[in-house]
């Protein structure tokens, strides 16, 4: 538990230093309660949690907020073959020496992706020069 708390504190400090506002919970039941009450731009979870797995937490988050990006961090990612497809997360990060760098990049990428886009009607389209075959 000390390693997990130390890792959590280190990740939080790095992200706060980059200007992100962080809410931390080391209890998945408390985390789900907070998620149900508050809208978060992004959620980061470990795979190994008390009473449930990170995958179970992600499934519950997807029920409440299906479009909220989720990052799964695990020391078992490679061993268990955890991927975005089989976990329901938007990014899976293996705990390693490169973890913080990967986390920072994933957070920035996922928050950028969530940024509002211009409505399709406001995009100027170039005229088509050739017709598609067989498609009307």
Place of tokens 């695990």: 74
For residue 136, tell me if it sits in a domain: no
Out of 53-57, 66-70, 79-83, 122-126, least confident range: 122-126
For residue 78, tell me if it sits in a domain: yes
Going through the chain in order, the beta strands assigned E by DSSP cover: 43-46, 70-74, 91-94
For residue 121, tell me if it sits in a domain: no
For residue 103, tell me if it sits in a domain: yes
pTM higher than 0.85: no
Average pLDDT, the chain: 82
Residues 8-36 have pLDDT tens digits of 788 899 999 999 999 998 899 999 999 99
Query: Closest by alpha carbon to 46, among 96, 100, 4, 13?
Result: 4
For residue 74, tell me if it sits in a domain: yes
Q: CATH number, domain at 99?
A: 3.40.50.2300
Q: Can you tell me the mean pLDDT for 51-72?
A: 93
Considering its fold, how many domains does the chain have in total?
1
Distance separating the N- and C-terminal Cα atoms of the chain:
60
Domain that holds residue 85: 2-116
Q: What is the pLDDT of residue 135?
A: 46
* Contact status, residue 61 vs residue 40, Cβ threshold 8 Å: no
Tokens read off for 125: 């389209």
Tokens read off for 2: 């000390």
């Amino acid at each position: 538990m000390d390693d997990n708390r130390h890792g959590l504190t280190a990740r939080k400090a790095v992200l706060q230093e980059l200007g992100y506002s962080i809410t931390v919970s080391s209890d998945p039941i408390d985390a789900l309660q907070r998620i149900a009450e508050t809208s978060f731009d992004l959620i980061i979870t470990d795979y190994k949690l008390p009473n449930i797995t990170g995958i179970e937490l992600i499934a519950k988050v997807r029920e409440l907020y299906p479009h909220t990006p989720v990052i799964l961090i695990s020391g078992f990612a490679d061993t268990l073959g955890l991927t975005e497809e089989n976990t329901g997360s938007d990014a899976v990060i293996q705990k390693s020496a490169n973890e913080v760098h990967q986390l920072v990049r994933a957070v920035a990428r996922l928050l950028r992706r969530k940024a509002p886009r211009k409505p399709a009607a406001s995009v100027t389209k170039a005229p088509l020069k050739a017709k598609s075959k067989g498609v009307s």
